[in-house]
Structure 1
Amino acid sequence: MTGPYTRGDSYSSEASRKQIRLALEKYGATDITFGQRGTMGALAFKGDGRQFRIVMPLLQSEGPMAVRGDIADSRLHEANAKVLERLNRKSWHALASAIDAKLGAASAGIASLESEFLAHVVLPGNQTVLDELEPLIDSAYRSGQRPSFGYPALP
């Protein structure tokens, strides 16, 4: 059975971001920033001569959490806020765990930082590799044709 710590329930969002920052700094990353807008969380950093940006959806409740207008029952609003914070903690905890594993592989020489975070490399024009390749990959699967990526196909 999984305990609350391993599920991320008792690990605050701030503690997870601190863990991420410390792990990245230990690896030698710089310019580490975090952000959150609505239901999206973000992390950006520089490392090994590259810029990286990870944008992730924060977990949301499946029930009606947003209450518009007057809040007739403040206890309901408070309960909703607690549920959202718990879900938010789980998102940041999962990202911290993933980053620890990726940095561990890079530190051990199993992979490079760039290969571990390739989808999140920021290209000139401020798009990530994922932003650029996702439509091409989707099109390739729909058409059944190998994408050219701007180069002639190899024999």
Structure 2
Amino acid sequence: MSDYARTTTVTVEASRAEIEKALRRYGATGFSYGWSETRAQVQFEANGRRIRFALAMPDPNERRFTHTPSRDLRRTRAETEKAYEQATRQIWRALVLVIKAKLEAVQSGIVTFEQEFLAHIVMPDGSTVSEYIAPAIESIYEGGQVPPLLGLPPGR
């Protein structure tokens, strides 16, 4: 995992509340949250669009939680739970950062709402734009039809 918020003490509940507060401040008209064993998600409505961020939750039985990193010793159940909870707090802090940064970029006029949240817009069939379009993007790259990095013809 990344080092961002690696040692955060902010609870998942506090992070979720921070996201909801930011969404209200930036004009969202609806908010929901849900979770299962393997994922958590935040949805909101703003600018006439429904947006969904889905978080893949780590498996609490992963070795990084069940064993110490330095000496590869088995952790106690309490130590395992503590390591897992730390990882989930870290994921939620990163989500707070992402959502707040996107909202501020839109508010500041750097990008439009659609530009910034496009991948997370929920389509009428329930998929996000990203889920819908990702296979086509993969196909384009596999076919070698990628334009030059700067959009200029080769040799310019």
| Same-fold status (TM-score > 0.5) | yes
Structure 1: how far apart are the matches of 2:84 and 2:49?
33
Query: What is aligned with 1:86?
Result: 86
Q: Secondary structure at the match of 2:40?
A: strand
* Paired AA for residue 119 in structure 1: A
Normalising to structure 1: TM-score of the pair?
0.78
CA deviation string 1:123-152 (max 9, x = no partner): 111111001110001111112247xxxxxx
Query: What is aligned with 2:21?
Result: 22
* Paired AA for residue 46 in structure 2: G
Ranges in structure 2 where 5+ consecutive residues have no aligned partner:
67-74, 147-156
* Paired AA for residue 13 in structure 2: E
Deviation of 1:59 after TM superposition, in Å, equals 4.4
Residues 6 and 86 in structure 2, CA contact (< 8 A), matched pair in contact too: no
* Paired AA for residue 24 in structure 1: L
Q: Secondary structure at the match of 2:123?
A: coil
* Paired AA for residue 92 in structure 1: W
Deviation of 1:30 after TM superposition, in Å, equals 2.2
Deviation of 1:28 after TM superposition, in Å, equals 1.0
Query: What is aligned with 2:152?
Result: none
Query: What is aligned with 2:47?
Result: 48
Structure 1: how far apart are the matches of 2:37 and 2:53?
15
Ranges in structure 1 where 5+ consecutive residues have no aligned partner:
67-74, 147-155
Structure 1: how far apart are the matches of 2:121 and 2:87?
27
Give the ranges of 4+ consecutive aligned residues of structure 1 lying more than 3 Å apart after TM superposition: 4-8, 59-62
Structure 2: how far apart are the matches of 1:23 and 1:133?
28
Normalising to structure 2: TM-score of the pair?
0.77
Aligned residue pair count: 135
Structure 1: how far apart are the matches of 2:125 and 2:5?
39
- Seen in structure 2, the aligned counterparts of structure 1 residues 108 and 8 have a Cα distance that, compared at 3 Å, is farther
Query: What is aligned with 1:69?
Result: none
| TM alignment of 1:4-153, pairs within 5 A | 6-7=5-6, 9-59=8-58, 62-63=62-63, 76-145=76-145
